[in-house]
Amino acid sequence: METIGVFTSGGDAPGMNAALRAVVRTAIYHNKKVIGIRRGFEGMIDGDMNELTSHSVSNIIQRGGTVLKTARSKRFLTEEGMNTAFENLKKHGIDGLVALGGDGTFRGAFEFRMRHNISTVGVPCTIDNDLYGTDFTIGYDTAINTAMEAIDKIRDTADSHNRLFFVEVMGRDAGFIALRSGIGGGAEAILVPETETNISHLISILEKGWKRNKSSSIVVVAEGEEAGGAYDVARQVKEHFDFYDTRVSILGHMQRGGNPTCMDRVLASRLGVAAVEALLDGKENVMVGVIHRDIEYTPFEKATKHNLDINMNLLRIAEILST
């Protein structure tokens, strides 16, 4: 293992740059060459790659997004695309890969290894926190803090106008962002994809708040919530409960941006170092993660097929605290 390739793929997450920095500098520390691959699997197919030095990753630990850029690649799903990518890796003498991304990235890396002899270690970078094999993914802490700060600001205006706000946060398949930002923001109710939404129960919660003279209420809704997202839930509630002036706020992609928190920077640094050292130790097709504060390795197939379960006790806590 003399030359290591590194790339970012899928949705960007705050802390990706911190992880990239750790990968590059750890490889150099071990006297290995590092090749940065731009635009994920797309750049791998196009041969868009160049050597990275320690200076290449200076002053990026605090930046959101990814300096290597990212893209979703349909071409990589084809045998021709994978063959071209492998040829480009061989041209640059790349012996192993560090993949910074989430579920889709690791699925692609797993399929790639099934066809070509290239070792890959994954670093979990996704704001959704939905990968099995790590307590937290890089970007999650920043995303929930961004969402919570937005909820705090919405609370100010909701309280001033006696309004009911439905705040939609990211989470197409998982409610982790909604759950923690909702608890942190003191939401009256939290709706997530993992549980069935009971509109009648939601209305009951809001009615209790109204009878206690609450001047505002906030319902946090994950975008993948099965009742249809914030707008649909708000419409259904308003049909039966119109005491409040109702508004909807979609936080959207602001949750992906911004400077990563200290927690995300430290996590990214730990996992970036661990990924390179795992490659040098001969590990392949695994994701590095932190479980109970220790570095652990989880096969790609298990990390992607066994998504982390939501903590149902946190939903119970959220309901208790809303009374």
- Identity of the residue numbered 78: T
The one-character DSSP state at 173 is: S
The DSSP annotation for 42-107 comes to: HHHHHT-EEE--TGGGTT-TT--S-TT-----SGGGSHHHHHHHHHHHHHTT--EEEEEE-HHHHH
* Cα separation, 237 vs 209, whole angstroms: 14
Residue 264 appears among annotated catalytic residues: no
**Which residue carries 């399929």 as its tokens?**
111
Dig out the tokens for 12 from the structure: 């960007």
The DSSP annotation for 8-56 comes to: E-SS--TTHHHHHHHHHHHHHHTT-EEEEETTHHHHHHHT-EEE--TGG
Dig out the tokens for 14 from the structure: 């705050």
- Catalytic hit among 128, 130, 141, 264: 128
Task: Report, as residue numbers or ranges, the catalytic residues.
Answer: 128
